[in-house]
Amino acid sequence: MEAIKAIMTRRSIRSWTNDPVTEQDRKSILEAAMNAPSAADARPWHFVTIDNPEVIEPFTQMGGTEMLKESTFMVMVCGDESKEIYPGFWPQDCSCAAQNMQLAAHAIGIGCVWIAIYPLQQRVETCRTILGIPPSITPFALLAMGVPNEVLEPEYRYDEKRLHRNKW
């Protein structure tokens, strides 16, 4: 899929079939994540892949996350401050990796939704507990994926009122 088309047609998918995401598709999505830009090319991220329904189930209790029970593949994006060259940039770097995953998933026909974790401390601790993430690593975002069970029409969101040229 062409890059601009992927950006303009990507939607958050919250309903999936029971079909598994193939190993090749999983690898493609993670390769896209790890090819994201990062400050000073520090790549201050780790990824936890999740496909066991027993591990997925506790995530459905975080509030507004009930649909995760249908996901067949999830990735927890985590920040690692010890890898930073310029302190404080890890959330931006992890955002780039997460966005790359969303676009890659969409481009290959996998539905994806981004569940915000950081900076919500209760969610951070819940995810840390479920996955055994060490204290030095911060759970940042949970991307839930699967073969889509819904089709959402693209939304055109360009808003001229939010554009400022040369000055405010």
In the predicted model, what is the mean pLDDT of the chain?
97
Handedness of CA 41, 141, 114, 72 (dihedral sign): positive
Topology adopted by domain 3-150:
NADH Oxidase (3.40.109)
Residue-wise pLDDT tens digits, 18-69? 999 999 999 999 999 999 999 999 999 999 999 999 999 999 999 999 999 9
pTM: 0.96
What pLDDT sits at residue 1?
78
Q: What is the dihedral of CA 107, 92, 157, 160, to 10 degrees?
A: -140
Q: What is the pLDDT of residue 19?
A: 98
pLDDT band at 74 (very low <50, low <70, confident <90, very high): very high
Q: Provide the pLDDT for residue 80.
A: 98
Q: Mean pLDDT, to the nearest integer, of 101-110? A: 98
Q: Where are the domains of the chain?
A: 3-150
The three-state secondary structure class of 20 is coil
